[in-house]
Amino acid sequence: MQPRPDITPLLKKLRLSGMLESLEIRNKQAISDKMAYTEFLSLLLSDEVARRDQKKFTSRMRKAGFRSSKTLEEFDFDFNPKIDKRQLYDLATCKFIHEKACVLMTGPCGTGKSHIAQALGHYAVRQGIDVRFTTQSKLLATLHASKATQTYAKQFKAFSQVPLLIMDDFGLKPVRPPHDEDLHDLVAQRYEHASTIITSNLDFQEWDRAFENKLLGSATIDRLRHDAYLVYLDGPSYRKPKPNQALKKEVEKSQKSA
């Protein structure tokens, strides 16, 4: 059954045109099940709310800039049993975001820091929280380049005001002037106002060594560490080279001949 001709323009005027996607199906369902008018309307409104929520979720995921869709459910905790699973799932509640606290994550290469950081970001997006994922190099390069295009204030505001900023690979490259001032200003602006997740291969005690200006580095790290959740991922690397099949066959052949 086709909807009345005047329904479409009315829904568009009320900015409810999304209802047209399910209107015909729900109309048939209402007739078939002999629904009350209020029940029929409730179904239509529920469809519209779900559509809008999905649209917002998709938009937040796109703006977050995640490298891939990582979740804690996909993380292999059995591979590295030393990792505190309970702590990570506690962080997944996102209470640290409401506390405006930082999460500082360290450990050897390949232990899953980027995976877990993005997974926590995904949980935040599911709760309707805006997230921005980037690396130290990309963040500082973006701020530096924006000075030449007179957009520094806009870029700085975007990084400083997002409720959850995830900065991957801190300390992978030294933080030299003038980037150290940009990073310090960003951390100082977010301090006790927004949450930040930072991953690094450096031990916590070595973080200030990433700065050439030790005084500026100490001031920056001091703000990050205050009331922060510390996560240490220990164990072997998940990244292993694929076995050389040709070499494997040669070994097996030599073992048989022996």
243 pLDDT tier (thresholds 50, 70, 90) = low
Q: Are residues 227 and 145 in the same domain?
A: yes
Helix (H) or strand (E) segment spanning residue 168: strand 164-170
55 and 157 in a single domain? The answer is no
Q: Do 91 and 190 belong together in one domain?
A: yes
Same domain assignment for residues 87 and 174: yes
Percent of the chain with pLDDT strictly greater than 90: 63
10 vs 91, residue with greater confidence: 91
Question: Domain total for the chain?
Answer: 2
Given this model, what pLDDT does residue 12 score? 82
In this predicted structure, the answer to whether residue 248 has a pLDDT above a threshold of 70 is no
pLDDT of residue 237: 72
The reported pTM is 0.80
**Residue 160 near residue 189 (C-beta atoms within 8 A):** yes
- Residue 166 belongs to what domain range? 72-232
Q: How many CB atoms lie within 10 A of CB 115?
A: 20
Same domain, 34 and 116: no
> In the predicted model, is pLDDT for residue 130 greater than 80?
yes
Which pLDDT band holds residue 61 (cuts at 50, 70, 90)?
Answer: very high
Nearest-5° angle of CA 10, CA 13, CA 15? 110
With cut-offs at 50, 70 and 90, classify the pLDDT of residue 250: low
- Summarised one tens digit per residue, pLDDT across range 8-54 is 888 888 888 888 888 888 888 989 999 999 998 899 899 888 888 88
Q: In terms of DSSP H, where are the helices of the chain? A: 7-13, 20-33, 37-64, 85-91, 95-98, 113-126, 136-148, 152-161, 179-190, 214-225, 245-257
**Is the predicted pLDDT of residue 88 greater than 60, yes or no?**
yes
**Pair 35, 118 in one domain:** no
Q: Are residues 20 and 135 in the same domain?
A: no
CB 197 within 8 A of CB 230: no
**Would you say residue 35 lies in a domain?**
yes
